[in-house]
Structure 1
Amino acid sequence: MYNKFRPFLVVFFCTLLFVSCQDDLELSPEDSRQTSASVFDNPESYQLFLAKLYAGFSLSGQQGPAGQPDLAGLDEGFSSYMRLYFMMQELTTDEAVIGWNDGTIKDLHSQNWTSGNEFIRTIYSRIMYEVALTNEFLRQTEEAALDARGVDSELKATITEYRAEAKFLRALSYYHALDMFGNPPFVTEEDPIGAFLPEQIQRSDLFSYIESELLSIEGEIAAARSNQYGRADQAAVWMLLSKLYINAEVYTGTPRYSDVITYTSKVIDAGYTITPDYQKLFLADNDVNGAQDEVIFPITFDGLETQSYGGMTFIIHAAIGGTMVPEDFGVSSGWAGLRTTQQFVDNFPNPEDSEDSRALLHSDGQNKVINNISTFTDGYAVAKYKNVDVNGTAGKDPTGDFPDTDFPMFRLADAYLMYAEAVLRGGGGSTSQALTYVNELRERAYDGTSGNISSSALTLDFILKERARELYWEAHRRTDLIRFNQFTENGIWAFKGGVPQGSTTQSYRNIFPIPSSDLGVNTNLTQNTGY
Structure 2
Amino acid sequence: MKKNIILLAGAILTLTSCSLSEELNDSITKEASNNILGSDQALSSAYQQLRSFQNNDNQLMLQEHPSDEMAGPTRGSDWDDNGTWRALHLHTWTPDNAKILGSWEQLYKGLAFAIDAQSFTGITASQKAQAVFLQSLYTFYITDIFGQVSMREPGESVSNLPSKNLKRTEAIDYAIQILEAQLANLPDGTAATSYIANKNAGNALLAKMYLNRAVYKATDATGKPQAGPYTFPAADMDKVITYSDAAMVGRTLQTNYFENFGPTNGEVSTELIFTAKNTNTEGGQIHSLSLGSLHYNQTPSGWNGFVALTDLYNKFEAQDKRRSASVPGFTDKHGLLAGILEGPQVDEKGTPILKRDSPGQLIFSQDFSLTNSTEEKGMRVVKYLPDYNKPTQASNDFVFLRLGDVMLMKAEALARKANTADALVIVNTLRVKRGATSLVSLTLQDILNERSRELYWEGHRRQDQIRFATFNAAVQGRTTVTDAHVLIFPIPLAKLAANPNLFQNPGY
SS of the residue corresponding to residue 67 of structure 2 reads coil
1:438 aligned to 417, 424, 427, which one? Answer: 427
- Which residue pairs with 2:62 in the alignment? 88
Return the alpha-carbon distance in structure 2 between the equivalents of residues 109 and 8 of structure 1. 41
CA contact under 8 A between 1:319 and 1:337: conserved in structure 2? yes
Return the alpha-carbon distance in structure 2 between the equivalents of residues 12 and 128 of structure 1. 13
Task: Please give the per-residue CA displacement for 1:34-60, whole angstroms capped at 9, x wherever unaligned.
Answer: 765565447x8422222211101115x
CA contact under 8 A between 1:83 and 1:315: conserved in structure 2? no
Return the alpha-carbon distance in structure 2 between the equivalents of residues 431 and 334 of structure 1. 43
- Which residue pairs with 2:356 in the alignment? none
Task: Please give the per-residue CA displacement for 1:318-340, whole angstroms capped at 9, x wherever unaligned.
Answer: 021165331xxxxxx31111111
CA contact under 8 A between 1:98 and 1:374: conserved in structure 2? no
- Which residue pairs with 1:316 in the alignment? 290
Q: Which amino acid aligns with 2:322?
A: R
- Which residue pairs with 2:470 in the alignment? 486
Return the alpha-carbon distance in structure 2 between the equivalents of residues 95 and 213 of structure 1. 33
CA 198–40 in structure 1, closer or farther in 2 if over 3 Å, else same = closer
1:14 Cα deviation after fit: 7.4
Match status 1:338 vs 2:306: yes
CA 227–209 in structure 1, closer or farther in 2 if over 3 Å, else same = farther
1:81 Cα deviation after fit: 7.8
Return the alpha-carbon distance in structure 2 between the equivalents of residues 506 and 35 of structure 1. 46
Q: Which amino acid aligns with 1:511?
A: I
Taking the TM superposition and a 5 Å limit, the aligned residue runs for 1:437-516 are 437-446=426-435, 451-454=437-440, 456=441, 458-488=442-472, 491-496=473-478, 502-516=479-493
1:207 Cα deviation after fit: 1.1
Return the alpha-carbon distance in structure 2 between the equivalents of residues 14 and 163 of structure 1. 21
CA contact under 8 A between 1:179 and 1:251: conserved in structure 2? yes
Return the alpha-carbon distance in structure 1 between the equivalents of residues 26 and 175 of structure 2. 33
CA 227–343 in structure 1, closer or farther in 2 if over 3 Å, else same = closer
1:423 aligned to 407, 414, 422, which one? Answer: 414
Q: Which amino acid aligns with 2:311?
A: Q
Return the alpha-carbon distance in structure 2 between the equivalents of residues 432 and 98 of structure 1. 39
Return the alpha-carbon distance in structure 1 between the equivalents of residues 403 and 156 of structure 2. 37
1:273 Cα deviation after fit: 0.4
- Which residue pairs with 1:357 in the alignment? 321
CA contact under 8 A between 1:5 and 1:229: conserved in structure 2? no
Match status 1:220 vs 2:185: yes
CA contact under 8 A between 1:282 and 1:385: conserved in structure 2? yes
- Which residue pairs with 2:47 in the alignment? 54
TM-score for both structures, normalised by structure 1: 0.78
SS of the residue corresponding to residue 150 of structure 2 reads coil
1:139 aligned to 119, 129, 138, which one? Answer: 119
Task: Please give the per-residue CA displacement for 1:22-45, whole angstroms capped at 9, x wherever unaligned.
Answer: xxxxx444996x765565447x84
Taking the TM superposition and a 5 Å limit, the aligned residue runs for 1:89-128 are 89-99=63-73, 100-103=79-82, 104-128=84-108
- Which residue pairs with 2:334 in the alignment? none
SS of the residue corresponding to residue 275 of structure 2 reads strand
SS of the residue corresponding to residue 347 of structure 1 reads coil
CA 161–197 in structure 1, closer or farther in 2 if over 3 Å, else same = closer
Aligned-pair Cα RMSD in Å: 2.6
CA 188–420 in structure 1, closer or farther in 2 if over 3 Å, else same = same
Return the alpha-carbon distance in structure 2 between the equivalents of residues 108 and 176 of structure 1. 18
CA 466–8 in structure 1, closer or farther in 2 if over 3 Å, else same = farther
Return the alpha-carbon distance in structure 2 between the equivalents of residues 8 and 301 of structure 1. 15
1:431 Cα deviation after fit: 4.0
CA 45–111 in structure 1, closer or farther in 2 if over 3 Å, else same = same
SS of the residue corresponding to residue 296 of structure 1 reads strand
- Which residue pairs with 1:152 in the alignment? none
Task: Please give the per-residue CA displacement for 1:466-514, whole angstroms capped at 9, x wherever unaligned.
Answer: 11101001100000000011111xx221222xxxxx2211111000111
1:407 aligned to 398, 410, 425, which one? Answer: 398
Q: Which amino acid aligns with 1:336?
A: N
SS of the residue corresponding to residue 274 of structure 2 reads strand
SS of the residue corresponding to residue 266 of structure 1 reads helix
Q: Which amino acid aligns with 1:483?
A: R
Return the alpha-carbon distance in structure 2 between the equivalents of residues 435 and 408 of structure 1. 25
Return the alpha-carbon distance in structure 2 between the equivalents of residues 325 and 127 of structure 1. 33
Task: Please give the per-residue CA displacement for 1:384-427, whole angstroms capped at 9, x wherever unaligned.
Answer: 22124xxxxx23x3xx312111121101111111111111111x
Task: Please give the per-residue CA displacement for 1:125-151, whole angstroms capped at 9, x wherever unaligned.
Answer: 22112122222211123xxxx4xxxxx
1:101 Cα deviation after fit: 1.5
SS of the residue corresponding to residue 219 of structure 1 reads helix
CA 483–31 in structure 1, closer or farther in 2 if over 3 Å, else same = closer
CA 13–369 in structure 1, closer or farther in 2 if over 3 Å, else same = closer
- Which residue pairs with 1:368 in the alignment? 366
CA contact under 8 A between 1:416 and 1:434: conserved in structure 2? no
CA 240–30 in structure 1, closer or farther in 2 if over 3 Å, else same = closer
CA 204–286 in structure 1, closer or farther in 2 if over 3 Å, else same = same
- Which residue pairs with 2:359 in the alignment? none
Match status 1:10 vs 2:8: no
Q: Which amino acid aligns with 2:377?
A: D
Match status 1:383 vs 2:365: no
CA contact under 8 A between 1:495 and 1:503: conserved in structure 2? no
CA contact under 8 A between 1:8 and 1:305: conserved in structure 2? no
CA 4–294 in structure 1, closer or farther in 2 if over 3 Å, else same = farther
- Which residue pairs with 2:9 in the alignment? none
1:187 aligned to 152, 155, 159, which one? Answer: 152
CA contact under 8 A between 1:264 and 1:415: conserved in structure 2? yes
Q: Which amino acid aligns with 2:216?
A: Y
CA 223–453 in structure 1, closer or farther in 2 if over 3 Å, else same = same
Return the alpha-carbon distance in structure 1 between the equivalents of residues 254 and 371 of structure 2. 35
Moved more, 188-197 or 401-410: 188-197
1:186 Cα deviation after fit: 3.1
CA 12–200 in structure 1, closer or farther in 2 if over 3 Å, else same = closer
CA 230–182 in structure 1, closer or farther in 2 if over 3 Å, else same = same
Return the alpha-carbon distance in structure 2 between the equivalents of residues 40 and 284 of structure 1. 36
Q: Which amino acid aligns with 2:482?
A: T
Match status 1:280 vs 2:259: yes
Report the count of equivalent residues. 445
